[in-house]
Amino acid sequence: MSLDTFRNWGTPKKIISTVISMLLLNVIVSLLLMLITGMNLDELTNPEVKIKTIALAEKVIINDEVDVISELKGIQSIIKETPPSELNKAFYLFITVNLFSYLGLGLVLIYIFFKEGLKAVLVNNKTPVLFIASVLLAYHIPKLGSDALRLNEYLKLDLFQNWLFNSDLLSDTIKSIGEMIYIMPNDERGYLITFIGICLIPAIGEELLFRGLLMRLFSERTNIHNAIAIQALLFAGVHFNLTNFLYYFVLGVVLGYLYYWGRNIAFPMVVHLINNFLVLFNYFVITTASKASLNNIIEEGVFNAAGVYSWMSYLTIALSLGIFYMNFNRNRHIIEK
């Protein structure tokens, strides 16, 4: 079967095959790794780690809120008390699934579906100011995450998630702590490998798949604004987290417009990478800073665990998007096909 056969497929067929392939690869790769390593999902989590995770979650929930500083310091303590080999099993499983299900799949399908190959998601637009705007936007976008959590509470989506998945704040906190214990750096796997695994690979892979491939396919069947909204919904959905659903959706919309107005997949990749990196950076700051330093930082209002800096974040985000939009209007002959 030649490549022209796939390239001549209708857009709906390409979209459906992409989504199904993504979901199936997640399952297939995970099962294959389990068979190869002889492990099952339950064995990825050390029983002692489970007990410590539950105890920490119960400790850091105060008045229906999570003390994030105590939570991250507690996570660090558990990591130090656990053999690195136990922690790395889940981490490398996570990397492998992402490599195949997002990065690998995105590269393969872009090559198969588009005659131009990877050039289909790259246009000769390397305006330096857009990279600067991307960095500024990425630095402030966690403000959206913090406010999205409040909006979730206002819309009662958190209660809907609790009902749908039979969960509550305690179970959500246990799950969050358990995930971070296995992906954050340890004595054997430092910050560089962790950065590659949880920041770089997801940023490149998810941008190629959602913005580079799916957004373009949706835009062939509807207007670009609908295409951006649909891919953002899918992007939020595959994270399987209703608590942060609105944040992932808004992030998907922002990244979609960055790609549309900038017409270079590098711009949303930069934002996505920095957004992921802030999680790792916040962990580093909290777990390495002295108690006095943390108190000073909190009192000055410069930083908190959510990476929120002030209402000025919204102004910075708006200005950054405005720069992209103005560049788009000025250079349509280069950017727009």
Give first-to-last CA distance, the chain, whole Å. 29
Residue-range domain boundaries for the chain: 3-335
**Structure tokens, 206:** 């998810």
Res 38: pLDDT: 54
C-alpha to C-alpha distance for 206 and 32, rounded to whole angstroms: 22
Task: Name the residue with tokens 């999902």.
Answer: 41
Please give the pLDDT value at position 17.
94
- φ, ψ for residue 224, nearest 5 deg: -60, -35
* Tokens found for residue 263: 């017409």
Q: pLDDT truncated to tens, each residue of the chain (337 aa)? A: 678 888 889 999 999 999 999 988 888 877 776 666 555 545 556 788 888 999 999 999 888 778 888 899 999 999 999 989 888 888 888 888 889 889 999 999 999 998 888 887 877 678 889 999 999 899 888 877 777 777 777 777 767 767 776 777 788 888 889 889 989 999 999 999 999 999 999 999 999 999 999 999 999 999 999 999 999 999 998 877 767 788 889 899 999 999 999 888 999 999 999 999 988 998 998 888 766 666 665 554 444 434 444 677 888 888 899 999 988 887 765 555 4
What is residue 332's three-state secondary structure?
helix
pLDDT of residue 15: 94
pLDDT at 308: 43
How many residues are listed for the chain in this entry?
Answer: 337
**Residues contacting residue 56 through CB under 8 Å, at least 6 positions apart:** 71, 74, 75, 78, 177
Neighbours of 16 (CB within 10 A): 12
* Predicted local confidence at residue 285, as pLDDT: 86
Collect all residues with Cβ–Cβ distance below 8 Å to 6 and sequence separation of at least 6.
Answer: 14, 112, 113
Tally Cβ neighbours within 10 Å of residue 176. Answer: 17
Closest CA to 181 of 27, 294, 44: 44
> Six-digit token pair at 256?
């979609």
pTM for this model (two decimals): 0.87
